[in-house]
Amino acid sequence: MRTLIKNIFWNAADRRLRLPWRFVVAAIVFGIIFLVAVFSLRPVLVSVFVGLQFASFGRLGTLLFQTSIQLVVVVLFTYLVGRFIDRRRFADFGLHLSRSWWIDFGFGLALGAALMTAIFLIELALGWIRITGTFRTVSGLSFVLVFCTSVLLFLFVGISEELLVRGYFLTNLAEGFRWLSGDAAVAIATLCSSVLFGIGHVFNPNATLTSTFVIVLAGIMLASGYLLTGELGIPIGLHVSWNLFQTSVYGFSVSGLRLPVTIIATEQVGPRVFTGGPFGPEAGFLGVSAIVVGTVTIAWWVRSREARLSLSSSVWIPELR
């Protein structure tokens, strides 16, 4: 009886807690790290942000402050939980920063920029957007300074969300379901992590059931780069440039949010079912089309670089410490 109870909680082969209990402990650890970061790091960041005058950036300054804390929390969480609960090295969450990793990161950046540029050009050609200005920024501030701040914001967002959702969550789910088969484990893990990604945007301004569904699809696109390479280079690069070009280059809303800086200020006047309306392209058919094209392009890229196209077994077969 005692052995049976122990087996419910403990995986003797891996010498660690079983998946559900690892998530329970991880949730507690995440909460503790978040509270410690808020109460200990917040005063320091406030001083830094005030000193650098980020408070005058309006919403952008607020978002950068929040994502700075988010990045610190996610990195600390992934490192500590990975090392002491999952028995994994930090780099094994998709961060083996080799030359190949950086090439994939550059490809992800280029892909996100290209996909959002295509959406902009299509909407412009069809008369679904109006250009209302250029190089818009916070009154009295340097455009270059504010734009670079938005780049930093989306870099923080891309790293933290991909490390948490794809690197940590998807990986653990895939490991937990590997008793089914590699393909089944990956399919379940991808779906669950993408649904979590969609739910994470439910409370964004102008969010709808449609926008949540499209964000789930975007999660699958982002996961594809990780699943095919075992690294987060493509997903992080794609996530960063997709957001940056969507709002700070072409003036769309990004997941319902508009920033006070954009190279091309636009106003959407086309059919919401295609443009996504106030939520941005991620809630419209053009966004869905870009996601499909992006996923196919990622598969092409991996196939051309590695002369194969298969799921990376490192996602569901851990190399435990």
Q: Residues 186, 174: contact at Cβ < 8 Å?
A: yes
* Predicted pLDDT at 259: 87
184: tokens are 């089944």
* pLDDT tens, residue by residue, 46-76: 666 665 556 666 777 778 888 988 999 999 9
- Please write the tens of the pLDDT for every residue from 159-218: 999 999 999 999 999 988 887 877 888 999 999 999 999 999 998 988 999 999 999 999
Q: Which amino acid is at 242?
A: W
Tell me, what's the pLDDT at 312? 86
Question: 298 with 109: CB under 8 angstroms?
Answer: no
Looking at the chain, the whole-number percentage of residues with pLDDT higher than 70 is 92
User: Which residue has better confidence, 305 or 241?
Assistant: 241
Q: What is the pLDDT of residue 4?
A: 63
CA 33 to chain CA centroid, Å, is: 20
User: What is the structure's pLDDT at 49?
Assistant: 65
311 close to 186: Cβ distance less than 8 angstroms: yes
State residue 61's pLDDT score.
Answer: 77
pLDDT digits (tens, 9 = 90+) for 247-298: 999 999 999 888 889 999 999 899 999 999 999 999 999 999 999 999 999 9
Residues 6+ apart with CB under 8 A from 136: 251, 260, 261, 262, 265
- Beta pairing partners, 266: 131
> Quick one: tokens of 120?
């902009």
Among the ranges given (11-25, 84-98, 166-180, 290-304), the one the predictor scored with the smallest mean pLDDT: 11-25
- Please give the Cα distance from 58 to 166 (Å, whole number): 31
pLDDT of residue 172: 93
pLDDT on residue 51: 57
Which one of 125-139, 228-242, 262-276 scores highest in mean pLDDT? 228-242
Q: Which residue has the higher pLDDT, 233 or 9?
A: 233
Whole-number pLDDT of residue 315? 86
Of 199 and 7, the one with more pLDDT: 199
* Half-sphere exposure in the Cβ direction for 201 (13 Å, CA): 29
Q: Which one is predicted more confidently, 65 or 42?
A: 65
156 phi and psi angles, rounded to 5 deg = -60, -45
- Rounded to whole angstroms, what are the CA distances from 146 to 59, 135, 141? 11, 10, 7
pLDDT value at residue 19? 83
Chain segment 93-117, per-residue pLDDT in tens: 999 999 999 999 999 999 999 999 9
pTM for the whole structure: 0.93
Secondary structure, 3-state, 96-136: CCCHHHHHHHHHHHHHHHHHHHHHHHHHHHCCCEEEEEEEE
Buried-exposed string 79-90: b where 16+ CB fall within 10 A, e elsewhere: ebbbeebbbbbe
